[in-house]
Chain A
């Protein structure tokens, strides 16, 4: 069995984004998603620091240091791009104008609860950034993360252990082992799996009941 790489996880998510959506990408693997949407499919990437219409990273020598994304990386703008301030950017997010947000995650529960900002009640100085706003405001929330922690503990659970970012907000999870929908009233539904992986093997790495899509 060969797990999906970071780029494959991002690519699989990118394949599922239709033309016309306005999409916000979180820091880390989610940022890679934009690299896998072909230029012929027009998707508007929004960054919460007020950029609507982000393009790929700039080629060396063409950087404009005034243009950064939420991860503070240098970006380019596409034709049709616009700038807004933070208040308008988050009004866009909270007002339900973002079709999709893709975030990383520590844990996702079978009811769609997401934990991705703090690792415990006693976290010394948790950093939430815009994650709670995006979790509450985006029309859809997809999570890209490894299926288990580095030491092998499941990250898909019946109930999150870490403090929540948002309640019942995640609709799909792309892991290094599978793509899983979160279905209201049912829980985790497996769409597809890494080549060579069996459903039982996937279930053994998941701390909540998995359902077959078909």
Chain B
């Protein structure tokens, strides 16, 4: 019998090593695996490379993960989300390496890794500062730059429902990076609000087939709350 459901955070995060590359789902707090991030902080793991859209807010979650010194490098598109105080301090002090990646390029680099594609050409960023050091090529009269796949050791994702096979159903705009990240890591751990019986998820509703998911842990997370960006 396939059963990916685990009961403790120790089981959920077992085997995550220093120096790992970790994908973290979510956009704002919607679809963000808060409890897994908190548990990752507790493990005391070091020298992580993390990839996600933002660089954390305040002193909780991803910001706290960086503040306790677990993160060597962050790959993200928008480090200036609301209240990025920890990121800005560490970055200014030279304690955190930053790789800025356009949001769509970030998603596509992860998708490419998931699909076994090592690199791809894109027009995004061609001719800009972010093209520096990247191979470029003119195809059908337009310039493209080469971006490499972003494969990870670990993906931490959040979903609304799961069954014991690890099939995931997302809620509202909570899919965002989660389905792509879930498919791009050696170890994918899903934090879900509800566990349902095998067969209860309609096949059309499944956003991430369980084949991508290694472990599922149920967490009563409640509702997300995200502070709007300052325009």
Contacts and interface: CB of A to CB of B under 8 A. Distances in A.
Interface of A: 27-29, 31, 47-51, 64-68, 71-73, 83-87, 89-91, 93-94, 104, 118, 121, 124-133, 135-137, 163-167
Nearest to B180: A87
B61 interface: no
Contact of B103 (A67, A86, A165): A86
B174 A124 contact: no
A74 to B, nearest CB: 8
23 contacts: A50-B173, A66-B173, A67-B172, A67-B173, A68-B27, A71-B228, A71-B231, A72-B82, A84-B175, A86-B177, A86-B180, A90-B103, A93-B104, A94-B104, A94-B108, A94-B122, A121-B129, A125-B80, A129-B78, A133-B124, A137-B123, A137-B124, A163-B129
Contacts of A135: 124
A31 B230 CA distance: 12
Contacts of A29: 231
B30 A68 contact: yes
A150 B209 CA distance: 52
Given A73-B228, A125-B98, A132 B175 contact: no
B28 A164 contact: no
A50 B28 CA distance: 13
B226 interface: yes
Interface residues on chain B, size class: 35 or more
Nearest to B183: A87
A129 B103 contact: yes
A86 B31 CA distance: 12
Nearest to A84: B175
A73 B228 CA distance: 5
